[in-house]
Amino acid sequence: MAARRLKLTLMYDGSDYHGWQVQPQLATIQGTLEAVLGEIEGNPVAVAGSGRTDAGVHALAQVAACTIDNPIPLPNLRKAMNRLLPPDIRVIRIEEAAADFQPRYHAVTKTYEYRIWRLDVCPPFERRYVYHFPYPMDEGAFVSAAAVYEGTHDFSAFASADEKDELGASKVRSIFSSTAERREPLLLFSVRGSGFLKHMVRNLVGGLIEVARGNLTVEDLRALLEPGIARKLGHTAPARGLFLMSVEYPNG
């Protein structure tokens, strides 16, 4: 049997998982997928993702890849996976991919959305998917400041410590669009870029909240994007309000 490289598009509720990446004795998205595919394949199957979403972060269209020998037709494989997976992880599409396809390194654009619930009372049915922040803030300032992040900048001030830091990797990223809007009862932040650092989107939201609360000016926020800045933002919004919306590739 010839090995098949497959591209999987996934949707998941990250509330009950310790993030994407496999961790010993802990429930993770990657670990759950590998267990299910291993059962179908009859051998261990490694699953690579487009990025490591944090514990509690959700996805509407995460992209992953695996290599299997099983000749099962793709529609049947999707059905089999969804039958075996817990209901908070769904495979929405499976496609044949090039043998060298790497979902992380071949991705050209990712889009995230962050959801802030602004009313005094957050319904219990929403609490796992929004940041409940009913406190006074200038929402107009939040919306207008979002554009500060657009362009190519050094986002070191918006990145949490990562084990790869000792390798000296660049923290320069390109943000193609950064917008916010009030869509009752939510304040929504959407950001589309070439790639994102650890906790970066949650820190971008934290920066906008600091501006909206009057603790930072727009100029302060812009200064945090200057190369070589030693200061960290210090306000990380909770994971539960964050959604990975899409991952884009050169050939679709």
pLDDT digits (tens, 9 = 90+) for 69-106: 999 999 999 999 999 999 999 999 999 999 999 999 99
Please report the pLDDT score of residue 227 as a whole number. 84
Using an 8 Å Cβ cutoff, are 179 and 111 in contact? Answer: no
Please report the pLDDT score of residue 42 as a whole number. 97
Using an 8 Å Cβ cutoff, are 137 and 209 in contact? Answer: yes
The pLDDT > 90 percentage for the chain reads 89
Q: Does 229 have pLDDT greater than 80?
A: no
Please report the pLDDT score of residue 252 as a whole number. 66
* Mean of the per-residue pLDDT values of the chain: 94
Q: Does 230 have pLDDT greater than 70?
A: no
Please report the pLDDT score of residue 212 as a whole number. 98
Gyration radius (Cα) of the chain, Å: 19
Q: Do domains 4-96 and 109-248 have the same CATH topology?
A: yes
Active-site choice (54, 69, 120, 220): 54
User: What residue ranges do the domains of the chain occupy?
Assistant: 4-96, 109-248
Lowest mean pLDDT among 15-24, 158-167, 227-236: 158-167
| C-alpha pair distances (Å), 232 with each of 54, 156, 161, 242 | 19, 8, 10, 20
57 or 160, greater pLDDT: 57
CA 129 centroid distance within chain: 13
Q: Does 178 have pLDDT greater than 80?
A: yes
What's the CATH class of domain 109-248? alpha beta
Q: How many Å apart are CA 216 and CA 235, to the nearest integer? A: 11
Please report the pLDDT score of residue 2 as a whole number. 81
pLDDT digits (tens, 9 = 90+) for 58-73: 999 999 999 999 999 9
Please report the pLDDT score of residue 57 as a whole number. 97
Please report the pLDDT score of residue 231 as a whole number. 73
Q: Give 4-96's CATH code, choosing from 3.90.1010.10, 3.30.70.580, 3.30.70.2520, 3.10.20.30.
A: 3.30.70.580
The pLDDT > 70 percentage for the chain reads 96
Please report the pLDDT score of residue 161 as a whole number. 74
54 is annotated as an active-site residue: yes
39 or 171, greater pLDDT: 39
Q: At what angle do helices 29-41 and 74-84 cross, to 10 degrees?
A: 120
The pLDDT confidence band at residue 136, using thresholds 50, 70 and 90, is very high
